[in-house]
Amino acid sequence: MNARLTALLPLLLAGCSMAPKDVRPPSPVPASWPVGDAYLRQSEATLPVVSYRDVFVDPRLQALIGQALSNNRDLRIAAANIVVARAQYRIQRSELFPQIDATGGFTRTRSGARTSGNGNNAIPGGGTGIPGDGTTNPGAGIQGGGGATTFDRFTTNVGLTSFELDLFGRIRSLTEAQQNQYFATEAAARATRLTLVADIADAWLTYAADTSLLRIAEQTAASAERSVTLTRARLRGGVAPRTDVRQAEQVLTAAQADVAQQRTQLAQDVNALQLLVGAPFDRALLPDTIEQAAPAVTPLPAGLDSGVLLRRPDVVQAEYQLRAANAEIGAARAALFPRISLTAVLGLASNALGSLFDNGAFTYSAGPSIAYPIFQAGAARANVRLTEAQREALLAQYERTIQIAFREVSDALARQGTIGEQLRATEAQTAAAADTFTLTEARYRGGIDPFLASLDAQRSLYQAQRTLVQTRFVEASNRVTLYRTLGGDTLLEVTEQGPVPLTPAD
């Protein structure tokens, strides 16, 4: 019988888990991306793991991103949160092991009343002259004058303090929950990093677009100023009416207002980039125009398999939170059963330091304890239902996160599938508007067409140029959006079983 108990002891110490089986729910989105007129035909290859340097190829943009990864305060907060989560996991995991404390002590106790003696019978050490007084007795202590006795006691103990036998997996489930929360925090940090890289690329492209818009506004203002000068000369010559002058001035003042607005916008773009970078940066890293900056973002291939969404940091975070909730159910169920704890102390005690480690100085004590709540008014079972409801909420949140990710990627693919055609049409429209303005201005100068025709052509050209800049920005920004929505570069690997987190370095 004793042999059987000995064989079962490791199993009892290891405990069993009462948590539900952790099974990933089926994907709440289709297995492939949408197809149709708005979408490009995709290749069958799945999306490879890429670095942001493979997508954002301009060295200036790479330098800004690298500086931001070192200085951005959001990333520092995320890194601190990882340290906190890791420490919390270690604290919880320590409950799986017994806590052993070592103590040592020395106690001197003096008892008895002290009386005054005369100088004749006083002996060194305060004795009374009575035989036996003033001598040292190792077993009883040191006897002083007037019957006072001093006792010395030396002790040393090594103790196992209230170690809970995790028979029903309560502590192990809590440890698993804390570990999954730790992994979720790591995924949240990767999501913060991904968002930061994409935000810097968008801000860099926004600055480029605003620079192009400023140049267009300045060119239009210069052209409008020439038109005002011409119409005033024609007014003085009696060739043109005053309305031509006032209409030309309207175009000029509108362009001048746009110039002032774009200069303000450029200053705000720099401020936004500096906040993202987290430190002052070299203005030489900024792009000149959107035409120059757009090719700096290369197209990102997308595969048909929507399972690639499972590697998105926000989806990984939601999955680990779901796993943590599943483990907390096991802890709540285990709390319904008794808790058995062990306490043991091994020690040495002696009245003399020299005999502290003799065989007769050894002492020990040990004893188990059991605790079981008799009446809690249903609190324990309600706690189980609470954890189960929390898991259902997190399951819905996990599925919703995947659905949102699917929608974001589908929207980005729809934009990618049509932006090329839109850009070509906008370029043709701008070229036609520029040609029309050149012809109508020449006809106005020749006295063939009224000034209103030239004015309309100039306004149309100005609007077409601004639209072209916006379209080029949308095309480049769409590539950034695909990088963001598909998960970007990540330290997470994708396997058949699902996401594999970074393993703790314990």
Please provide the DSSP assignment of 405-452 as one string. Answer: HHHHHHHHHHHHHHHHHHHHHHHHHHHHHHHHHHHHHHHHHTTSS-HH
Predicted confidence pLDDT, tens digits, the chain (506 residues): 444 444 444 444 445 665 666 656 666 655 555 554 454 444 333 445 567 888 899 999 999 999 999 999 988 898 898 989 888 888 888 777 777 777 777 787 877 655 444 444 443 444 433 333 433 444 445 555 556 687 777 677 766 676 677 677 778 888 888 888 899 998 889 889 999 999 999 999 999 999 999 999 999 999 888 888 888 887 787 777 788 888 888 888 989 999 999 999 999 999 999 999 999 999 999 999 999 999 999 886 655 466 677 778 888 888 898 888 888 787 776 766 676 666 766 665 656 555 555 666 656 666 667 676 776 677 878 878 888 888 888 888 888 888 888 888 888 888 888 899 999 999 999 999 999 988 888 887 777 777 778 888 888 999 999 999 999 999 999 999 988 888 876 543 333 334 444 333 33
Tell me the three state secondary structure of residue 370: strand
Burial grade of 338 (CB within 10 A; 0-12, 13-18, 19 or more): exposed
CB-side exposure of 111: number of CA atoms within 13 Å? Answer: 5
**459 neighbors 247 (Cβ within 8 angstroms):** no
Model-level pTM greater than 0.75? no
Q: What are phi and psi of 424, to 5 degrees?
A: -60, -40
Q: Contact 155/353 with Cβ under 8 angstroms?
A: no
What distance in Å separates the CA atoms of residue 490 and residue 493, rounded to the nearest whole number? Answer: 8
* Short-list 420, 462, 403, CA closest to 223: 462
Q: Could you give the CA distance from residue 278 to residue 148 in angstroms, rounded to a whole number?
A: 75
Q: Residue 499 in contact with residue 310, Cβ under 8 Å? A: yes
Closest by alpha carbon to 143, among 132, 159, 154? Answer: 132
DSSP 308-337: GGGGSHHHHHHHHHHHHHHHHHHHHHHTTS
Concatenated DSSP letters for 142-156? EE-GGG-EEEEEEEE
Cα–Cα distance measured from residue 70 to residue 295, given in angstroms and rounded to the nearest whole number: 26
CA torsion sign for 484, 489, 493, 499 is negative
Half-sphere exposure of 334 (CA within 13 A, CB side): 25
Report the SS3 class of residue 96.
Answer: helix
Separation CA 463–CA 298 (nearest Å) = 28
52, 296 contact by CB (below 8 A): no
| All domains in the chain, ordered by first residue | 15-98+166-338+380-500 (1.20.1600.10)
Q: Between vectors from CA 448 to CA 446 and to CA 450, what angle results, nearest 5°?
A: 105
Instruction: Give yes or no for a contact between 332 and 428, defined as CB atoms under 8 angstroms apart.
Output: no
Distances (CA, A) of 309 to 151, 167, 215, 360: 75, 39, 41, 69
* Bridge partners, residue 106, by sequence: 154
Bridge partners of 108, per DSSP, are 152
* Structure token digits, residue 60: 């200036």
